Structure 1
Amino acid sequence: MHIRKALVGGLAAAQLGAGFALGMPGMATAATESTVCGNWTAATVASGFGSLENLAFDGGGGLLLSEISLTGSGGGLYRLTPDGTHTLAAAVESPGGIVVNAGKAYVNSGNTFASGVTNSPDGKIVSVDLATGTVTTVATGLHMPNGLAQLPDGGFAVSRDLGPDAVITRVAADGSGAHALAPGLNSTNGLAYDPVRRELFVSTTFDAVTAIAAIDIDRPDAAPRRITLPGFGPLNSADDLTVGPDGAVYVALNAAGQVVRVDPDAGTFCTIATGLPFVSSVRFGSGPGWDPNSLYATGFLGTVTRLTR
């Protein structure tokens, strides 16, 4: 972590005069392709689930999975262990993004197509006690909550990619004070907070151009910096994303079936995996039995895939 801080600080100083490659606030910069990705291999870790929307590691040897129902009802939070055993951690209606903190998994509930197109405020954030399975409501009144990130003050950022006002909502840790964050971004989906840069990274799904935006959490009213990826946005369908230990942003391109690595400081991208139909979320391994150097991906076809360089 200290090495990353030094690298980020050095890059910031070197680029200060000309502006970051990601673009100055309010600007969008087209990414250029690089060759730094090298060769990654893909291996199936588990299959046979329902449609998988998101994943997170619980730090105790479990991989948490949001399983959704294409009918719009049901679903649950499942726990997968390295030996392939999976159990229901909690019944959560149409779960979306997952964040793990202090023995609890915070999960979006009500992430349904119907809620998005009808603009129904029936979504929630719930917390799941990982020791007891107890489910507690944290926030209500959300519209199709998809991506989820926890911010330094303990509050949450929640994304929405369909329907009117498909923007990010920020809520306090106690679920109060809901308001739009960076309302200039539309069709928002993946969220990942980077504590080193103090930026919230966001992907857009159905805009004509796929954008990875960076919101300065200390200046939330400032226009975010954006880097754009090639291809027609809906045909990419950028889904969830994560910040890797190398400081790069890794993005699941759902419709394209690809995982892309974006260097937000250099303004470059490269593709680390193809042929992953409807890939939805990516995270680096964490906890006993999960390789921290491998990227694990979920997909709507019910598979968990390990990507290794």
Structure 2
Amino acid sequence: MPRVTRMLSLMLSTCLTGASLTASAPAFAQAVPEARRPQPQDDAPGCRMLPRGSVHSWLVTESVYQNEELAFDGKGLLIAKKGEALVAVPAFGPTRVISRDARLATLSLGLRVLPSGDVLVAQPAVAEGLTAKLLRVRPDGTVSEFFTAASMPPGLPPFIIPNGLDVDAGGNAWVSDVATSQLLRISANGTPSSIAVGAEAQGVSGLVFDDARSTLFYTGAPNGTVRRVRVDASGRPVGPPEVVTVLQGTRLDGLTQDRCGNLYVVDSDPARKRFRLLRVDLDAGGAAVGGPTVLATFDDQVSGVQFGAGPGYDASSVYVSGIWGKVFQVPVGAKGAPRFSAP
């Protein structure tokens, strides 16, 4: 196992604990109005007929390695890391290198496509002399710094290991730091603000921002907790984070959302050699309904999950990636939550 992977695995394992797979779902202090909830569409089988158990999944590619996450540009390209390069993988045809830059050489933990079409890549400070940063990679391969540790304001913990990453329709980034247990919003112009610090932001690996609800959902530790925090128009939290559900005995990682409002989360536990995709159903108020549904089990360590988008990739499937190069497709019966479209 590479040194970077061992280091991150050891650090994350210290904060991830649990026993049997059970779920609890405290009610939210304030319910989300039904009018703001993403409405079910006419895609078959539809939100009322989602699978209640495991579905068939299959391997799409095993050519992207040193890569925890993936993203889609909406034009038929899967964006991922392949060693020191950022690559575009079409559904049909050869993989194309977008950028090969020394700053991309280490393991990338987060990756998302901005509304502009540029790609954000989260690079941790995992070795002496490295600085944690979010890199911005343009379609022509040009690499610049969207945000670095040096830009952290006084009074906030340092920026060391950015992990979970998502972006919203305004081009703002939402990122976790698993070394310092914090959640940050980085505005489109690179200005950071604090969303949560401490126990409520511990071990956060998966983030998904719900533009319709102005709500950030995220996975964390201990005990497989899924939380949410609402924000106002300026991106400031409206109240403290709230627990959506606790999935005991899991090691939660990547997170995404369908148009029905449900969450899809990766449960990745190398110690138990258990790698799964779970669905957490939410009601109209945003509370979890029942226990999780196990949709798929994988034969290799996985971490990231995103809905397909663009020609050649199924919009009613999620694609699950891992650091050893494999990407799996899982048909889940619903399309992803409405997202912005990159130009």
TM-score relative to the length of structure 1: 0.77
- State which of 279, 290, 296 in structure 1 corresponds to 2:313: 290
- Residue matched to 1:175: 190
- State which of 15, 24, 47 in structure 1 corresponds to 2:62: 47
Matches of 1:123 and 1:25, distance apart in 2: 35
Q: Does 1:111 align with 2:103?
A: no
- Residue matched to 2:35: none
Instruction: Spell out the pairing of 1:15-54 with structure 2 (5 A cutoff).
Output: 22-25=26-29, 36-54=51-69
Matches of 2:113 and 2:97, distance apart in 1: 16
Contact 1:56 1:99 (C-alpha < 8 Å) held by counterparts: yes
- State which of 206, 216, 231 in structure 2 corresponds to 1:217: 231
Instruction: Spell out the pairing of 1:1-309 with structure 2 (5 A cutoff).
Output: 22-25=26-29, 36-67=51-82, 75-83=84-92, 85-91=94-100, 92-94=104-106, 95-111=108-124, 114=126, 122-130=131-139, 132-141=140-149, 142-151=159-168, 153-161=170-178, 163=179, 165-176=180-191, 178-183=192-197, 184-204=200-220, 207-218=221-232, 220-232=237-249, 236-255=250-269, 256-265=274-283, 266-267=287-288, 268=290, 269-309=292-332
Report how far residue 84 of structure 1 moved: 5.1
Matches of 1:209 and 1:121, distance apart in 2: 31
Matches of 1:264 and 1:225, distance apart in 2: 14
CA deviation string 1:51-90 (max 9, x = no partner): 321011111110001346xxxxxx3322111125212212
What is the aligned-residue RMSD (CA, Å)? 2.4
**Aligned residue identity for 1:133:** G
Matches of 1:262 and 1:276, distance apart in 2: 22
Report how far residue 237 of structure 1 moved: 2.2
Contact 2:134 2:148 (C-alpha < 8 Å) held by counterparts: yes
Extract unaligned runs of 5+ from structure 1: 1-20, 27-34, 69-74
**Aligned residue identity for 2:205:** N
| Runs of 4+ residues deviating >4 angstroms | none
Instruction: Say which is worse superposed, 271-280 or 94-103, in terms of deviation.
Output: 94-103
Extract unaligned runs of 5+ from structure 2: 1-24, 31-49, 150-158, 333-343
Higher relative contact order (CA 8 A, sep 6+): 2
Identical-residue share of aligned pairs (%): 27
Matches of 2:305 and 2:294, distance apart in 1: 14
Distance 1:182 1:42, change over 3 A: same
Contact 1:22 1:264 (C-alpha < 8 Å) held by counterparts: no
**Aligned residue identity for 1:78:** V
CA deviation string 1:156-178 (max 9, x = no partner): 211122x3x221122221112x2
How many residue pairs end up in the alignment? Answer: 262
Distance 1:276 1:212, change over 3 A: farther
**Aligned residue identity for 2:268:** N
CA deviation string 1:191-218 (max 9, x = no partner): 11112222111111xx331111111022
Aligned to 1:159, what secondary structure does the other structure show? strand
**Aligned residue identity for 2:68:** E
TM-score relative to the length of structure 2: 0.69
Matches of 1:229 and 1:273, distance apart in 2: 20
Higher strand proportion, which one? 1
